[in-house]
Amino acid sequence: MIGVLTFCLAGGFLALPALAQQQVSSEALQLLQKVATAAQKVTYTGVFVYQNGSRSETSRITHLIDGGNELERLEVLDGSPREVVRRNEEVKCFLPENKLLIVERRSARQFFPTLLPGSLAGLTEYYQIRKGSIGRVAGVDSQSILIEPRDEFRYGHQFWVDPQSGLLLKASLINELGQPLETFAFTELKIGGPMDKEMLKSQFEAKEGNWQIQQVHSSEVKGDDGQWIFRITLPGFRRISSTKRQLRPDAPESMQLIFSDGLAAMSVFLEPMAGRRKEEPEVFAMGAVNGYRRQVADYQVIVMGDVPPAALRRFADSLESKRK
């Protein structure tokens, strides 16, 4: 193996072709693995603060494993009382301000599919992962894990993990300047049961009123009809699912392709224009999620994800329709 070591005088620098770049703390990886499973297996309730930019919101999250069912409720405690309730794969999002309930059924197969041991190790090709310091936090020693991107196509992360339970206590998405784009941090956390199931019911569930219910119908599809080509692929991002879904009653069915490198994810929504007005491409951001909309052939393309805007756009701009 060492025999392949080449020494290049002419270029003035050395090149080591076949050897993978490995600067990985395997301990950090093991801990990440634990985090990945703990999130689904541990019963807990806690209050956390979510901050992006100067905006911050406090929410309560309750997660219960009950006889093979996974129940979860997220309620925002500041501002308008928005809620997300999940029972296994069914996600309900209550938006009282708009008297709107969006019901989304995600496919079970997709739940953390990339977090299997093999692919987790694959992360190290695109991120440098190492253990950071231990922060003693009000009696809990949490281990920080630093995840720095090796290129400009993704953001960095910093996680603080309770090594005992494997729960993520704090997480930041870090931009190219090392600044947090968003941070999520528990301020209170109680691990383990028993838990009152009432805590997992939405306060809006029983209430009367003329709520508009928007049921999103989706179905898994194989491939993407072979109709689309991305001229450029971002290194490390693989397509992990293709789904057809009706997002809004008044909108045409759209295809959602999800690409992920294991940590960051991008969704590409493809929708027939169906007589809609042509519009200029638009770049937008919703918190730490960046988005970009353009038109290709007779389709509207919306790409969004927690990746840097330049990367998102580069990817979206490379999309072409095979049917000219």
Partner 1 sequence: MGDREADQALVERVQAGDKQAYGLLVTKYQRKLLRLISRLVRDPAEAEDVAQEAFIKAYRALPSFRGDSAFYTWLYRIGVNTAKNWLVANGRRAPTSTELDNEDAENYGEGDLLRDVDTPERLLMTKQIGDTVNAAMAELPEELRTAIALREIEGLSYEEIAQMMDCPIGTVRSRIFRAREAIAVRLRPLLDTGPDRRW
Partner 2 sequence: MTKELSALLDGELETHEVPTMWRTMKADASLRDTWRDYQLIRDVLRREGKLAEDITPGVMGRLRDEPVVLAPSPRRQSDWHGSLLALAASVTGIAVVGWLALAQQPSSREQSAMARAVVQPPPAALAATRAMPEYREYLLAHQANAPGLHLQGGAQHIRTVSAMGGGQ
b/e string for 291-306 if b means 16 or more Cβ within 10 A? Answer: bbbbeebebbbbbbbb
Nearest CA to 156 out of 164, 147, 143 is that of 147
Residue 7 interacting partner from partner 2, partner 1, none (CB closer than 5 to 8 Å by kind): partner 1
Q: Beta strand 228-230 with 238-246: parallel, antiparallel or unpaired?
A: unpaired
Which of 60/321 has CB closer to partner 2?
Answer: 60
Q: Which of residues 156-195 bind partner 1 (CB under 8 A)?
A: 158, 175-179
Minimum distance of partner 1 from residue 195's CB (angstroms): 34
Q: CA 169, CA 160: separation in Å to the nearest integer?
A: 6
**Residue 150, interface with partner 1 (CB under 8 A)?**
no
Q: CA 182, CA 286: separation in Å to the nearest integer?
A: 11
The structure tokens listed for 54 are 């100067």
For the chain, counts of helices (H) and of strands (E)? 3, 20
Stretch that binds partner 1, among 3-11, 40-48, 197-205, 259-267 (CB under 8 A): 3-11
**Residue 107, interface with partner 2 (CB under 8 A)?**
yes
Q: Which of residues 163-202 bind partner 2 (CB under 8 A)?
A: 167-171, 173, 175, 177, 179, 181-191
Among 202, 308, 312, 319, binds partner 1 (CB under 8 A): 308
The helix/strand/coil state of 311 is helix
Binding mask 50-79 for partner 2 (x = CB under 8 A): xxxxxxxx-x-x-x--------xxx-x-xx
Minimum distance of partner 2 from residue 56's CB (angstroms): 6
Residue 57 interacting partner from partner 2, partner 1, none (CB closer than 5 to 8 Å by kind): partner 2
* DSSP letter assigned to residue 6: B
**Residue 17, interface with partner 1 (CB under 8 A)?**
no
Would residue 209 be called left, alpha or beta, if left means φ above 0 and alpha means ψ between -120 and 50 degrees?
A: left
**Residue 14, interface with partner 1 (CB under 8 A)?**
yes
Half-sphere CA count of 247, side-chain side, radius 13 A: 10
Residue 161 interacting partner from partner 2, partner 1, none (CB closer than 5 to 8 Å by kind): none
Q: Which of residues 215-254 bind partner 1 (CB under 8 A)?
A: none
Q: Which of residues 194-253 bind partner 2 (CB under 8 A)?
A: 214, 216, 218, 240-241, 243, 245, 247-248
Q: CA 303, CA 289: separation in Å to the nearest integer?
A: 10
**Residue 16, interface with partner 1 (CB under 8 A)?**
yes
Minimum distance of partner 1 from residue 188's CB (angstroms): 22
Residues 6+ apart with CB under 8 A from 154: 126, 127, 236, 261, 263, 264, 307, 308, 311
Residue 130 interacting partner from partner 2, partner 1, none (CB closer than 5 to 8 Å by kind): partner 1
Strands (E), the chain: 44-52, 55-66, 69-76, 83-87, 90-95, 100-105, 127-137, 140-149, 156-161, 168-174, 180-191, 212-220, 228-230, 238-246, 254-260, 265-272, 282-286, 289-296, 299-305, 319-321
Which of 228/289 has CB closer to partner 2?
Answer: 289
Q: Which of residues 2-61 bind partner 2 (CB under 8 A)?
A: 13-14, 32, 35-36, 38-40, 46, 48-57, 59, 61
CB atoms within 10 A of CB 68: 6
**Residue 121, interface with partner 1 (CB under 8 A)?**
no
Minimum distance of partner 1 from residue 61's CB (angstroms): 24
Nearest CA to 104 out of 84, 119, 123 is that of 84
Positions in the binding site for partner 1 (CB under 8 A): 1-2, 5, 7, 9, 12-14, 16, 19, 21-23, 130, 132-133, 146, 152, 158, 175-179, 308-310
